[in-house]
Amino acid sequence: MVKLNCLADVCLIPIGTPTPSVSDYVVAVEKLVRESGLDSTLHSAGTTIAEGPWDEVMALIGKMHEEVHSMGIFRVQSDIRVGTRTDKKQTAEDKVRVVEEKLLKAKN
């Protein structure tokens, strides 16, 4: 059992879909993410799962793969970026806010 908290940015890519649209798969996995109770943000290229226990986040990503497979897709790839921090607690929103504040200061 890993005891770290992490922030993960995840993009699942179903390979071999009958059409170019993947929105039905996005809806299915996003339902899982929202039901997980972990904070998350859906964006145009995936979902950011904001700071949760490592094992819970990784288990959720595995469930996301299983869900897409259950929809008849034989192959699923995922791009995952995972960050950990031990010096302080930081949300995805915190990270964006810090950059936005620095951009405002850079204008002046």
Report residues of the chain scoring pLDDT below 70.
none
The percent of residues in the chain predicted with pLDDT above 70, rounded, is 100
| Exposure b/e, 77-107, CB count within 10 A at least 16 = b | eeeeeeeeeeeeeeebeeeeeeeeeeeeeee
51 torsion bin: left (phi>0), alpha (psi -120 to 50), beta (else): left
What pLDDT, on the 0 to 100 scale, is given for residue 46?
96
What pLDDT, on the 0 to 100 scale, is given for residue 69?
98
Q: List CB contacts of 90: < 8 A, sequence separation 6 or more.
A: 7, 51
Domains of the chain: 5-107 (3.30.70.930)
What pLDDT, on the 0 to 100 scale, is given for residue 89?
85
What pLDDT, on the 0 to 100 scale, is given for residue 88?
87
